[in-house]
């Protein structure tokens, strides 16, 4: 059985990773999901929250959940500056889907994109072992969507990618990003991980072989199966 459980929170996914008695929550969603997540954290005695990146839809409940559970927050500190702004201002977009998404993201303004302030405790870097958190896996650096985007690769064959890839319209590298060349580099890195199950920040999980079919090839988009 896999170690990763998907927790749909509106249009964004959070995940619970379990290994024996250890449990980590990955991403914390928007305010509307905070009590659901608090219950899950209490039930599973979650002591650490991982954040895949600094956008508000993945981080908004961090302060609330920390206050009520005493959990530590671990993320890549390159994304700390985004916590003050929600991060929408720094985004570029690709294609029609990207323009729509970027418009929607910046319209989220006001309360929805606000991130109640918290101070992350642990700086997660590419290649770090997850053993200190009781998990069997490593941190994978996946910059591009944001500078500090990270994923989590588990020995059980599961990979949480945050928004490095999205499965909203088609499963593809994110339509919105801070650095497009890094985004594609991270996508190639994911592809090279071979036979793993990919868990997205948005949309349903897929086998790793399924998403890259939509990658650009010779300037045109390869047909989906």
Nearer to Zn ion, 3 or 51 (CB): 51
Residue 19 Cβ, how far from Zn ion at the closest point, in Å? 26
Count, residues near Zn ion per rule CB under 5 A:
2
Residue of 153, 176, 56, 82 lying closest to 164 (CA atoms): 176
Nearer to Zn ion, 55 or 102 (CB): 55
Question: Alpha carbon of 2 to those of 8, 39, 52, 157: distances in Å?
Answer: 17, 22, 20, 8
Q: Is 27 in the site for Zn ion (CB under 5 A)?
A: no
Torsion of CA 24, 30, 34, 37, to 10 degrees: -30
Cα–Cα dist 148/152, whole Å: 13
Residue 64 Cβ, how far from Zn ion at the closest point, in Å? 19
Which phi and psi (to 5°) does residue 218 adopt? 50, 40
Q: Point out which residues pair with 181 in neighbouring strands.
A: none
Nearer to Zn ion, 162 or 205 (CB): 162
Q: Which of 27, 79, 158, 163 lies at the binding interface for Zn ion (CB under 5 A)?
A: 163
**Segment interacting with Zn ion, rule: CB under 5 A, options 41-49, 53-61, 70-78, 97-105:** 53-61
Nearer to Zn ion, 154 or 166 (CB): 166
Residue 163 Cβ, how far from Zn ion at the closest point, in Å? 4
CB atoms within 10 A of CB 56: 22
| Residue 198 structure tokens | 């990919």
83: Cβ contacts below 8 Å, ≥ 6 apart? 54, 59, 115, 117, 118
Q: Is 55 in the site for Zn ion (CB under 5 A)?
A: yes
Nearer to Zn ion, 163 or 172 (CB): 163
Residue 105 Cβ, how far from Zn ion at the closest point, in Å? 8
Residue 120 Cβ, how far from Zn ion at the closest point, in Å? 16
**Segment interacting with Zn ion, rule: CB under 5 A, options 14-22, 28-36, 52-60, 135-143:** 52-60
**Segment interacting with Zn ion, rule: CB under 5 A, options 8-16, 94-102, 124-132, 163-171:** 163-171
Question: Alpha carbon of 211 to those of 71, 112, 164, 182: distances in Å?
Answer: 34, 30, 12, 18
| Binding residues for Zn ion (CB under 5 A) | 55, 163
């Amino acid at each position: 059985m896999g170690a990763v459980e998907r927790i749909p929170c509106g249009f964004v996914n959070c995940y619970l990773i379990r290994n024996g008695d250890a449990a980590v929550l990955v991403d914390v969603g928007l305010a509307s999901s905070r009590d659901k997540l608090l219950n899950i954290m209490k039930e599973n005695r979650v002591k650490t929250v991982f954040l895949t990146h600094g956008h508000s839809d993945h981080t908004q409940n961090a302060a609330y959940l920390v206050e009520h559970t005493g959990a530590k927050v671990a993320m890549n500190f390159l994304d700390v500056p985004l916590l003050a702004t929600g991060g929408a201002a720094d985004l570029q977009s690709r294609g029609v889907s990207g323009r729509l998404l970027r418009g929607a993201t910046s319209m989220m303004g006001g309360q929805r994109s606000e991130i109640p302030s918290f101070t992350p405790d642990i700086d997660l870097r590419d290649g770090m072992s997850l053993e200190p958190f009781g998990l069997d896996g490593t941190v994978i650096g996946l910059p591009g969507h944001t500078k500090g985007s990270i994923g989590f690769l588990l020995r059980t064959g599961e990979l949480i990618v945050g928004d490095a890839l999205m499965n909203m319209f088609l499963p593809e590298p994110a339509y919105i990003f801070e650095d497009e060349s890094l985004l594609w580099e991270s996508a190639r890195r994911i592809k090279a991980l071979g036979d793993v199950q990919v868990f997205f920040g948005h949309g349903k999980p897929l086998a790793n072989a399924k998403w890259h079919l939509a990658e650009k090839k010779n300037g045109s988009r390869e047909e989906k199966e």
